[in-house]
Amino acid sequence: MPPTIEKVEEFLRFADRSADEVLGTLHPSQADATIWKVAVNGVMAGCRPEYMPVLVAIVEVMADPEYGIKHGGSTPGWEAMIILNGPIRKQLGFNDKQGAQRPGNQANTSIGRFYRLFARNVPRFLPGTTDMATFGQMFRAVVAENEQACAEIGWDPLHVMRGYKPEDNVVTITSVRTGSDPFSSGGESAERHLDYIVDWVKRMIEPYQSSRGYIESHVLLLTPVIASLLAKAGYSKRDVANHLMKNATVPARYYEWQMMLGDHHTPGTTLSGLVEKGELPGEWHLSDNPDRLVPLMLPQTQWLIVVSGDPLRNRSAIYRQNFKQGYATSRKVELPRMWEALMRTSERQLGN
């Protein structure tokens, strides 16, 4: 959609901030990310003006050095996953149920498109020059967490797990290098479902990641069916994350073979050598038995566990993050002072 002055000014009404305010300087272009540029790209992405506070929070994450947007054009070709929490999800009509990741719902889709458009137009990630993705991927629709489902089973939503208040509106963004099959699991015991999730973790996470000191923030999406079954068995989100960390292990023989196969270390590198040099914790070399089990992930690894998707399906999905490139970063969505009045007087019909 063409960013006419009239359209851009509609967006600015929902910002409560100067159009010239600089949210940060973005690499590689070293261009200033201003409120005006957020509004312009929001219009072009097909967003509604009411989405403006969410768009501003997204760009604030992009401007945070912890997130690492400067790596957005690296060869793995990672794409951002935006996770939204808080009351604004329902107020703006986000889909957190069936087809939550499918393009179609305006809020989920246009805001996901906004991220990619802004990354191209302001930090200037351009294919073949500053964007050197080997294959690349399409933008991702925003993941809205089903907080009602979380409340029903006694689980905290993601933003509360990350230190925010339940009533806060929060965006969390993490890079996604690749995603798993939306796998289904069966059985009546929580442990059986967890065993299958762990099996998929082993398929998705490569040993070389921890061997090179990568501290990552992966995503686990659970449908309400799976989340409820785990909660009824006494598992919290933190318990699930701890279970994955503890049980996602592989034989040392395989670990060493795989980290060398991808040319990630010099020939002759061993787990004992990495532990001796302090590059891996001692638990990676408790013995010389080549069949001993060693962890796949460093203890500092984060798991962002999000309840979303079809409430009638027994499926889960894992999304692998790309270490310091697009590390999970959250930002509170700041609403304008007249937010409720603006929403009441808006004549736009928000999607469901």
List the domain range (segments joined by +) for residue 105.
5-248+296-345
pLDDT tens sequence for the chain (352 residues): 899 999 999 999 999 999 999 999 999 999 999 999 999 999 999 999 999 999 999 999 999 999 999 999 999 999 999 999 999 999 999 999 999 999 999 999 999 999 999 999 999 999 999 999 999 999 999 999 999 999 999 999 999 999 999 999 999 999 999 999 999 999 989 999 999 999 999 999 999 899 989 999 999 999 999 999 999 999 999 999 999 999 999 999 999 998 888 767 788 899 999 999 999 999 999 999 999 999 999 999 999 999 999 999 999 999 999 988 999 999 999 999 999 999 998 755 444 3
Q: What token pair was written down for 21? A: 């305010």
Quote the longest CA-to-CA distance of the chain. Answer: 70
- 268 found inside a domain: no
- 312 found inside a domain: yes
Residue 241 has a pLDDT of 98
Residue 347 has a pLDDT of 56
331 touches 64 (CB < 8 A): yes
* DSSP category for residue 156: P
- 51 found inside a domain: yes
CA distances (Å), 275 to each of 133, 213, 346, in order? Answer: 33, 11, 61
- 287 found inside a domain: no
- 133 found inside a domain: yes
Residue 352 has a pLDDT of 39
Exposed, middle or buried: residue 349 (CB in 10 Å: 0-12, 13-18, 19+)? exposed
CA distances (Å), 306 to each of 39, 196, 316, in order? Answer: 29, 17, 10
- 283 found inside a domain: no
- 256 found inside a domain: no
- 282 found inside a domain: no
Q: How far apart are CA 75 and CA 118, in angstroms?
A: 19
Q: How far apart are CA 294 and CA 250, in angstroms?
A: 6
Q: What is the DSSP string of 29-65?
A: TTEEEEHHHHHHHHHHTT--GGGHHHHHHHHHHHT-T
Q: How far apart are CA 261 and CA 103, in angstroms?
A: 37
Per the structure, how many domains does the chain have? 1
CA-based torsion, 252, 255, 257, 263: positive or negative: negative
**How distant is the alpha carbon of residue 37 from its chain centre?**
23
Q: How many CA atoms lie within 13 A of 55 on its CB side?
A: 35
